[in-house]
Amino acid sequence: MNKKSRVLVIDDDPSTIRFVKRILLQEKFYQVTTAAGSQEALDILESSEYSFDIAIIDQKLPDIMGIDLLKMIKDRYSRTECVMLTAIDDVEVAVKAIKIGAYDFLRKPVEPSKLVVTLRHILEKGDLLSRIENLRDKSEDFGHKEAFRPIVTRSLKMFDLFHQVEMMASTDDPILICGESGTGKELFARSIHEIRFENQKLFSAVNISSYQNELLSNELFGHVKGAYTGAQTESEGIIGVTNDGTLFLDEIGDLDLSVQSRLLRVLENKEYYRIGDTRVKKVRCRFIFATNKDLFQLMERGLFRKDLYFRISAHIVSIPPLRERREDIDILAGTFLQRFAEKSRKKIKGIHPEVRELLNRYNFPGNVRELENIIKSSSAIETAHQITKKSLPKYFLNYFFEDSRQDLVSLQEMERRHIRTILEAVNKNKSHAAKILGISRPTLIKKLKEYGNSV
């Protein structure tokens, strides 16, 4: 932070411009330029001799909307971090802005402390990225936190995520981890727990899709003796057992509405009742949630409560899929091979270049978990000193054969064909197929029902 960071403030309201400019100049870290509209902002960005570190963009501008300007800036000036301002609560616009690449979305009138903290985090992030690039140039390990050691990566996106997660972990607020199946959401949850509690407290993980509603309520909240037929002893429930530790609820998008209402009460009031009990229990554990589903789609369909979403999403971690960080494929494959070779005591020392090429061309719908399963199954049957093409799973090789003769298809059709290919490769064994796909067996069954007889 030795040199001043260049900030472009874009707003057609002169009072807002003066207010934000005064806050930033008081901090003495910033050099501020202002624009009253989108076109003026683009002209400044185009003609400027230097790049801007930060752009603060009002959503309602006189020429084009701020969300559209945000996209233009991120497309043309990807290094410029953007903060959106809005005078109204608009969840859809906020989520769209974050997906486009906005660092944060702030409500007007802006709280000075909130703006200052947000911009300082951006500056810290910039310093971090510079350090990461230097590390990558030197081929050194990141070494950011011992808690992140289980997450094998050389991706800038992931290192940036580590930095964000470290800041989130220091709070007791709920955290929502978003990402496709197999991206490592539980690994991130455990990292957050270790940073916060240094593994001195209990970490409990519950996969919601593995339980029916009644069983899930009982598992989470517990019961008293005689609460229902068969309840011969009392149970504290996972919430009670976890005490001051971390409770990780995976696949929160599969949570039934009836259980959602009970969970909302827990988050709002920090208390709950065991089944059949009249005595209130206090909640002391920290909650981390994860989903591979679009919760906004579920809210539109009335399958997920909006008030619950706002409670669980105080902080959001979005893990990129493996196809968006392909630089990790080789290092992950090598790590998995070493692990399985040592465990099975096989003398497999590497991966054939032809296999590496195929791995780097594959899209990995099952993400890191699927890559792990491919290396595991290949190393189990490989007889040479390196993994060769002949030991790769049949469905994986079929992907390249079919891909070479297929027309472009929708993502849904690609998923359907991929599920069908894997099911055929494992003789319709749904448990095995789900493991390869990186999803739970109930999720696979749901997908099969959606596709009907077309799989």
What does the pLDDT read at residue 17? 92
Which of 279, 299, 318 terminates a domain? The answer is: 318
Do residues 307 and 229 share a domain?
yes
Query: Residue 79 class from Cβ within 10 Å (0-12 exposed, 13-18 middle, 19+ buried)?
Result: exposed
407: in domain: yes
Residue 154 has what pLDDT?
Answer: 83
* pLDDT score recorded for residue 126: 64
Assigned domain for 141 exists? no
Q: What is the CATH number of the domain that holds 195?
A: 3.40.50.300
| pTM passes above 0.75 | no
308 and 181 inside one domain: yes
Domain residues for 204?
153-318
Phi, psi dihedral angles at 315 (to 5 degrees): -135, 140
DSSP string spanning 155-202?
A: -HHHHHHHHHHHHHHTS-S-EEEE--TTS-HHHHHHHHHHHHHTT-S-
Q: What is the model's pLDDT at position 125?
A: 66
SS3 35: strand
Would 148 be classed as within a structural domain?
A: no
Give the integer Cα–Cα distance in Å for 120 and 115.
Answer: 9
Residue 349 tokens read as: 């020392």
The mean pLDDT values, 10 residues at a time, for the chain of 455 residues are: 80 91 86 93 88 91 91 87 83 78 84 84 65 46 67 86 88 93 95 88 92 84 84 87 93 93 92 88 93 93 94 93 91 90 82 89 92 93 89 88 55 79 77 80 85 66
The reply to whether 126 falls in a domain is yes
Nearest-angstrom CA–CA distance, 81 and 14: 23
Q: Specify whether 273 is located in the same domain as 331.
A: no
The angle subtended at Cα 354 by Cα 439 and Cα 341, nearest 5°, is 60
Does residue 283 lie in a domain region?
Answer: yes
- Phi first, then psi: give them for residue 318, nearest 5 degrees: -110, 110
Based on the fold, state whether residues 54 and 170 are members of the same structural domain. Answer: no
184 with 290, same domain: the answer is yes
* Domain co-membership, 227 together with 240: yes
Is the separation of the CB atoms in 217 and 261 below 8 Å? Answer: no
The domain that holds 37 is classified in CATH as: 3.40.50.2300
Do the domain assignments include residue 139? no
Phi, psi of 96 (to 5 degrees): -60, -40
User: For the chain, what is the domain count?
Assistant: 3
Q: Are residues 339 and 210 in the same domain?
A: no
Together in a domain, 120 and 177: no
Claim to verify: residue 436 and residue 354 sit in the same structural domain: yes
Q: Give me the pLDDT at residue 145, please.
A: 65
Backbone phi, psi, residue 30, to 5°? -125, 150
